Structure 1
Amino acid sequence: MEIFKVNGTVNKKRLAIGVLIPVVGGALVGYYANKDTQAQYKKLKKPAFSPPPRVFPIAWTSLYSMMGLAQYRAYEKVDASQIEATVLTPYSIQLGLNFLWSFLFFKWNLRGIALLEIGMMVAAIGWSATQFYKVDRLAGALMLPYLGWVGFASTLNYSIWKLNR
């Protein structure tokens, strides 16, 4: 498919690594951050717009796949001297914040801290998307559904924090 081609070719190894890191990392974080927390989460007051729990794994797998593809495309397009500043730094920061948020919100019940942290995550995703867009418009565009979902998640985080203080 054309979406996987960068400069007319597909680097299968880099593509696989790019997609597997967020997908597998997200699955592991989800498992460990949510382990033994489901009963407690069910007891929380939630806003009417809170999606059913089954939506989250589907949404996150799709979003992690798109962000991995975006990172792959940007990495392949950017000049080698700019890989660190343009691709790896903003991407790593936003992914690290993404993984940390699950522990803050679910495992450690620090929903107020998670709300502050998700604000930083939104900014980091925006930075990453902007940097990606500069080198590959599709890579930048692939980050937009993720940015939208995390924006929604921040509203959900705020609502749950407010309802359960």
Structure 2
Amino acid sequence: MDTQNLTHRTSPQENEPTTISPTRVDTDTDRKARRTGIATRGLKTMSIAISIPLLLTLTNIYLNPNKPANKPVSILPIWTVHMGCLGSSALMGLCGWIVWAEGGFHRKPDIVGFYLGHIGLGLLWDPVVFRFEAHGLGLCYVLGQCYRSFKEVSKVAGDLVLPCLGWAGLLAFVNLKSLLTSNMG
């Protein structure tokens, strides 16, 4: 290619003479405006990070409203299970946002797999556990891995996974108990 015929396109600012302006001193209003802009962007991304898993869980609840009739009555009412799953989903969305904001998904890409695995297993919980009578311990494993990985990035995010892990453990225990009682009876 003939490089002698190439031209450089310039913007109008480049052709104008440059003047040296005095150094700008940040005022309190400038700093406050910058912080407000950053906080607004942070709230928007946090609301998206929480609402997506929450909406997926709500859709799952709508599509799978009740347990099948042949399943024995468990210790927990179904509305309690649904509310707990919604709370766990929102909390994990917050944890995922904290890890994302700290740059954990970029530094450790395997964390994304555990987080998406949690979302996927959370959505499959009702069909797999209630229809096919599986035990649901896979979700506990994935949440344990999320706890371990999130804790390496942010102590707060790791600690916020613990209630979700406890909830999944309670659901797995209740489901195992109902499976054992239905198989013995």
TM-score, normalised relative to structure 2: 0.70
Question: In the alignment, what sits opposite 2:116?
Answer: 92
Per-residue CA deviation, residues 7-61 of structure 1 (Å, 9 max, x unaligned), is x956123211210121110111111123xx4561xx63345xx122332232222
Question: In the alignment, what sits opposite 2:17?
Answer: none
Once structures 1 and 2 are overlaid, which stretch shifts more, 58-67 or 137-146? 58-67
Assess if the C-alpha contact under 8 Å between 1:46 and 1:163 holds in 2.
no
The higher-RCO structure (CA 8 Å, 6+ apart) is 1
Question: In the alignment, what sits opposite 2:47?
Answer: 16
Matched, 1:70 2:92: no
Matched, 1:144 2:139: no
Question: In the alignment, what sits opposite 2:139?
Answer: 121
Question: In the alignment, what sits opposite 1:57?
Answer: 82
Assess if the C-alpha contact under 8 Å between 2:72 and 2:178 holds in 1.
yes
CA RMSD of aligned residues (A): 2.1
Unaligned stretches of 5+ residues in structure 2: 1-37
- Aligned counterparts of 1:56 and 1:76: Cα–Cα separation in 2: 30
Unaligned stretches of 5+ residues in structure 1: 1-7
The Cα of 1:95 is off from its aligned counterpart by: 1.4
Q: 1:153 to 1:71 in 2, by over 3 A?
A: same
- Aligned counterparts of 1:15 and 1:83: Cα–Cα separation in 2: 20
Output the amino acid matched with 1:45: P
- Aligned counterparts of 2:106 and 2:60: Cα–Cα separation in 1: 32
- Aligned counterparts of 1:80 and 1:138: Cα–Cα separation in 2: 16
Percent of residue pairs identical: 20
TM-score, normalised relative to structure 1: 0.78
Higher helix fraction (1 or 2): 1
Assess if the C-alpha contact under 8 Å between 2:99 and 2:105 holds in 1.
no
Assess if the C-alpha contact under 8 Å between 2:143 and 2:161 holds in 1.
yes
Larger radius of gyration: 2
